[in-house]
Amino acid sequence: MSWTATDRYRLRTAPSGLALVQDFLNTKAIKTHGLDLLSDADLARPWAAEALAEWSRVRGAEVPGFTPGSGDLRPLRDLRESFVSLLDGDEAAVEKPIKADLAVRDGVVRLFPSGTGRQWLASALWTETLLAQQAGIWQRLKLCRLDGCRSAFYDVSRNNSGVWHDVRTCGNVANLRASRERKKALS
């Protein structure tokens, strides 16, 4: 199993359940690469099945039943944009209520998403976001700064200073543009 949306862009996967948030963000088409996996129910269904199976494997939980239909697509794209806004440091729209369940076993408290259908997915995404923030890894999930890319990547740089998902591709394009602009300004 793998994180289909993230793997198609050859990105490093975020740790633990944060990978679900990253994969959800990477359902979006990037430039001319890939399709928007939330544009059509026939694309969304296999993505959701694989992502939720992988999340279940990572979390040691049962695979939730969620088969996105055409009525789920717009709300899921809106939810994805809420996460884009959140990563950009803006206000994020939250569909309420978001519910989660607590489980206590062997002295360990665990938080699990609850609900059904896309409400369960929203609960899982917000739950994983909260857990990542509490674990101190949320700030390493970023969107590539290059316009037209904006892929969600997990920054593994020592000082958390990454701004492009790949310095050789997006970083090179951005630096080349900046260089041309500087030369143009000097002319």
Backbone angles phi, psi at 104, to 5 degrees: -120, 120
180's enclosing H/E stretch is: helix 172-186
CATH of the domain at 43: 1.10.3300
Cα 17 to the chain's mean position, in Å?
Answer: 10
What's the mean per-residue pLDDT of the chain? 88
73's enclosing H/E stretch is: helix 70-87
Structure tokens at 66: 């969620």
Give 71-81 pLDDT, tens digit per residue.
Answer: 999 999 999 99
Which domain range does residue 131 map to?
4-186
Instruction: Please state, for a pLDDT cut of 90, what percent of the chain lies above it.
Output: 59
Identify any residues that bridge with 110 across adjacent strands, giving them in sequence order.
103
More confident position, 77 or 179: 77
How large is the angle between the packed helices 70-87 and 117-135, nearest 10 degrees? 20
For residue 120, how many other CB atoms are within 10 A of its CB?
Answer: 17
What total number of domains does the chain contain? 1
Give 124-159 pLDDT, tens digit per residue.
Answer: 999 999 999 999 999 999 999 888 889 999 999 999
